[in-house]
Structure 1
């Protein structure tokens, strides 16, 4: 330990003795080549020690770093150091010792700061004429020389020298480009930039569609998106708010997760014969996911019923269902982080200012059920008054705008376009009425003026269920068939009764006592009298009566034959 301490203190002690003896202990000079305020890992720096004497051959030189010997005495006054790791700032000194009289000289401290190897930044710029430009920059320790590459990093495309911290190059064709900076002799290079692709964008615009967009989409379902581009010589690329680019087929099948909540997808075509020839990006397709298919006996309501609230307003959420223990859940729309906001034995949760300061999706859940989900957020200056739950197609919907700012006229926006403008009549509030909302009215709405606008909120429109329509139709058809059946049965009954009264024979007493006659009724009075007299004429006589149909008068005509015993 004593030897180590002596080694550390010896150079300083020697310099002090030299100063006391000669009075010129700091006449030596230490020069950095190149002299920079900041060096980088991988660079070399030369430290040159000068005794400021005409004859420097009689000196030996030592290099001190941060008070400790770094390079031992030698006749070489030139020290070349490779910088291998970052340092905030090391202090270097050199000491010269005369060979004959042991006279010494010490230089002042030179600070050497070392940073990690920098990386160039390459960005694409669009000029006023529509052409593309590339800008390469290195922000640390300029000046730099810049090198641009096209196609691959092994082929230099162009170099621009004597620039300070950035250089701009006008691109004349599509391709993949890189850049890097360099300085010194020999050249020290930065890391390569990330590649930038310059594409040839044609005038064709892709169109993105989604299957079954009329109905809600539940988390965990598979949704099919389709990209439509005129022609057949195209591959396709899809991007979304929270996902990397996906290249492949025309159809994109997504198994939805919470990260897709209100995510927007768009697509474009990529020419098969020229991968750098692309169409314009399509419209955005929104996935208005429902958290899950809620249990029919569980629901969540917001009081008051709207998405946006002033942070100081009293806002509560009610969980209604058969559970006695609820958890109120919230997922941050931007970070996708979900957590429990509160637990309660009753069904009402009150949100405070901190809760309303987060744009979140809320739902209620218990151990056996969960509710629908709604968006709730808060602002301090201006809010849009829109329904927190989907509205039924055909309903009257009133969108309001409420502000704490003195705005004389308020604009209502749908998908970032002004659709309605109205003067503020109520105290800092204005309304827009949709008399009969339709599916074409669904979208993102916001309100305000050119300086201040509210957050945007999604207005969802739900069509009437097809199952409900089918049930109603079947019910009406069943009722109609029942009525027709009853009418038919009544008519049949009346017809049969009428026919029965016209064909059934009449019972006449006096002929064979109580035996019924087989002859049809309606015999006139004269014929009846004759018929009776014949019966009483002779006991052994019997009568054969044969009907001959109807006469012209419409009455039945009968023929009587008397037969006597021999």
Structure 2
């Protein structure tokens, strides 16, 4: 008996499948090995499967198919009948309308032109459709022309129609049209300081000015450090870095209509200074008169909005103590000697400048000071040794550092005694001293 070769059909379209079944009509199916020829040539080599599934993806797969069977235990071979497979071309593609727009933004008080077309064919009329994200689709009535003008934002599409009964093309792709409101928007900075430093925190606000429609708005930002999606918040707060410098713009749209918006605001340019500012401390004078005071002034050049912290320490090696903090006034009066410095702070969270350089303030005391010669000689001769003493009345028990002014000396002593060995004529003159109280 001849081997049987079967399929479900002899006519196939592209992307369909055909299954060949090779039946030897003798013995068990597992007694055989199978192969398939196409148009007299081997298509599938011998294997143990009597069924073979073929995906149709080309017209060249059409032809005459035949199967062969060979027993495993011998060289005995059987040949099947021939099966003819025909692959049909795809069905004609239904035309699709194409929707184009000269611009997708409707200017204030204006409109835009939409054009619908069907390529390489004539005789079409057109149907137009509009919807939004919150409203269902409606057909625009009495608009069969290929061009229409629209003044309302939304999602537009079209299709072509012709003949009787009417034949419809596939719907065009959607085109989003946005309407521009007359309201103007502006970007403002808070705090509104003329100079911003890296590390400070600022807020940019998108404000919708009056003059157009009054509505509930949402906002979109364009800039180096701003979100690109629509948000209900009209401000963005960030810590300034080098990458923050650049232009910032915003626009607004109605919350209930995502296809209507204002124009972009004018660019707000942020230029962040990369170097941290340093406070500068100046003193009215460096010596506090007895019973008086000295005015100190702290400033930060080229910027505004600062408050000031004031520090004092007794000596270079001692720890600075905060005297006053968050002072709005840039000047203070001090009546105590020491080493002073200041710094500026502004914003929330507070941004601090570098500390100023330290300024030394000395305080004069009311103690009376006299200079006496150790020996009350009325006449001094060349070659003698003398000692001049500095006495501070009322300063007993305190530690003083002495400063001398005297003729013919380059390195006066810092102690209370000025000793001169081998006096010469050049040592004649006035001798003065003052005491500096050691802390």
TM > 0.5: no
TM range (shorter): 0.3 to 0.5
TM-score normalised by length of structure 2: 0.38
Which structure is higher in helix share? 1
Identify the structure with bigger relative contact order (alpha carbons < 8 Å, sequence gap 6+): 2
TM-score normalised by length of structure 1: 0.31
